[in-house]
Amino acid sequence: MREVVIAGVGQIAVREHWETSLRDLAYQSIKKAVSDAGTDSVDALYIGNMLAGELSGQEHLGALISDYCGFDGIEAVRIEAAAASGGAALRQGAMSVACGLNDCVVVTGVEQMTDVLQDKVTAGLSLALDTEYELASGISLAALFAILTRRYVHEGCCSPEDLALFCVNAQKNAVGNDYAMFRREITVDTIMRSPMAADPIHVLECPPVCDGSASVVLLPAEKADLEAPVKITGSAVATGTIGVNNRPDPLVFESVRDSTEKALRMAGKTREDVDFYELHDLFPVVAALSLEASGFAKKGEGALMARNGDIALEGKIPITTMGGCKARGNPVGACGIYQAAEAVLQLRQQAGKNQLPCEVGMIQCMGGTAATTITHILEV
């Protein structure tokens, strides 16, 4: 297998893009990434997207977007794994470069969610669940994470305020990210005073409904003319039961554990080597349980890392360094690519005010209630 590098990245600001179409969102980030990579011939385009069919009534994004970008005749397909779609597309792109089938691959994540009303978005996001046995009972994705949140607190793992600290950290980090949606600090008190979205999750603990697109350009290391290229050294997907109810312990994200271990093993790294961890902070409890399942915290102690400041930029294992889902925003299928772009900026020492001293980053996105988790290790 050939070593794969991320030669270019492009992001557009996560916003409510009322004036921009789905294809134009993708075009804008692809243009930036291709320009950043300084390449002019693209062999293939992989698109991470979850909801275009449901919310935009548009499938077949491969042809739609490659056509709009002027990539005449190339291989172009959409990859779907719910909110892990971006990570899944990144892995497909990396595999196709690694095996030698393609040289220059663009991977883009794109999602447009603001064209429809909230109840439709809630239903759409819940398509990541088992629709016949979860959504059919009126159970949304947020509801299941709320159930896990209540149980997590019930088992004495932390207080609700501890969980809110994940949001405080995310919004603080987003201040330094031009592409983030919520670029202002927030307090625990403000979060706890906001209304309930799915009890006990407050509205201000939820990621915003938003639009966005991010892209990366992948090349084989041997053809990348870069001084300090960011390499993809680990890539792993793990799945768990589609229903969180069918796991021995719903508070253990086995797919996070398994994909983390596989990715680290592939990269030849240990947890101690990882300088930052872009996890999928869909809700605070997901951050806490991800820290536990990935081995950065003991079981039941994930939220303590927020209380102790371990997750801050200057902490032991910084997470959501550019704002994460909570504050950068959560354009679902694009999340994995935003994470990749953000990690590349960190590793290139281009992260501005949020710059960490770092050489190895771990990015991780999750579909449904951790039914799919995709982890990548990036390093310089």
Partner 1 sequence: MYGGNCCHNNNSHIGGVNLEISRNWRLRNQRYRLVGTECGCGHRSFPPRRICPTCRENPQNPVQFSGTGTVYSYSTLYEAPEGFEQFIPYTVALIDLDEGPMISAQLTDVDPEDVAIGMRVEMVTRKLKEQGESGLIVYGYKFRPIVGCYP
CB of 247 to partner 1, least distance (A): 8
CB of 319 to partner 1, least distance (A): 24
Q: Is 245 in the site for partner 1 (CB under 8 A)?
A: yes
Which of 8, 66, 345 lies closest to 179 in space, CA to CA?
A: 345
Q: Which residue in the set 1, 63, 99, 196 belongs to the binding site for partner 1 (CB under 8 A)?
A: 196
- Give me the residues paired with residue 44 across strands: 75, 105
CB of 313 to partner 1, least distance (A): 32
Which of 313, 260, 336 lies closest to 6 in space, CA to CA?
A: 336
Q: How far is Cα 20 from Cα 232, in angstroms, rounded to an integer?
A: 31
Cβ proximity to partner 1, 12 vs 325, nearer residue: 325
Q: How far is Cα 30 from Cα 24, in angstroms, rounded to an integer?
A: 10
Q: Is 337 in the site for partner 1 (CB under 8 A)?
A: no
Cβ proximity to partner 1, 154 vs 353, nearer residue: 154
Print the binding letters for residues 143-182 with partner 1: x by CB under 8 A, - otherwise.
Answer: xx-xxxxxx--x----------------------------
Cβ proximity to partner 1, 336 vs 367, nearer residue: 367
Q: How far is Cα 104 from Cα 93, in angstroms, rounded to an integer?
A: 9
CA neighbours closer than 13 Å in the CB half-sphere of residue 138: 1
Pick the piece of the chain touching partner 1 (CB under 8 A) from 67-75, 89-97, 123-131, 296-304: 123-131
Looking at residues 57 to 96 of the shown chain, list those that interact with partner 1 (rule: CB under 8 A): 57
Which residues touch 311 (CB under 8 Å, ≥6 apart)? Answer: 166, 169, 287, 291, 305, 317, 318, 319, 320
Pick the piece of the chain touching partner 1 (CB under 8 A) from 33-41, 141-149, 178-186, 259-267: 141-149
Q: Which residue in the set 18, 19, 70, 138 belongs to the binding site for partner 1 (CB under 8 A)?
A: 138
Q: Is 212 in the site for partner 1 (CB under 8 A)?
A: no
Q: Which residue in the set 4, 128, 198, 288 belongs to the binding site for partner 1 (CB under 8 A)?
A: 198
Q: How far is Cα 309 from Cα 183, in angstroms, rounded to an integer?
A: 20
| Long-range contacts from 16-21, C-beta under 8 angstroms, 24+ separation | 16/114, 16/210, 16/211, 17/112, 17/114, 17/211, 17/212, 18/114, 20/211, 21/112
- The count of chain residues that interact with partner 1, using the rule CB under 8 A, is 44
- H helices of 178-318, where? 188-193, 254-267, 284-293, 302-307
CB of 153 to partner 1, least distance (A): 9
Q: Which residue in the set 3, 43, 54, 261 belongs to the binding site for partner 1 (CB under 8 A)?
A: 54
Pick the piece of the chain touching partner 1 (CB under 8 A) from 25-33, 40-48, 60-68, 133-141: 133-141
Cβ proximity to partner 1, 70 vs 195, nearer residue: 195
Q: How many CB atoms lie within 10 A of CB 309?
A: 13
Cβ proximity to partner 1, 155 vs 178, nearer residue: 155
**CA-based max dimension of the chain:** 57
Take residue 7 and report the two structure tokens written for it.
């030669």
Q: Which residue in the set 120, 183, 262, 348 belongs to the binding site for partner 1 (CB under 8 A)?
A: 120
List contacts with partner 1 (CB under 8 A).
53-54, 57, 118-120, 122-123, 126-127, 130-140, 142-144, 146-151, 154, 195-201, 241, 243-246, 250
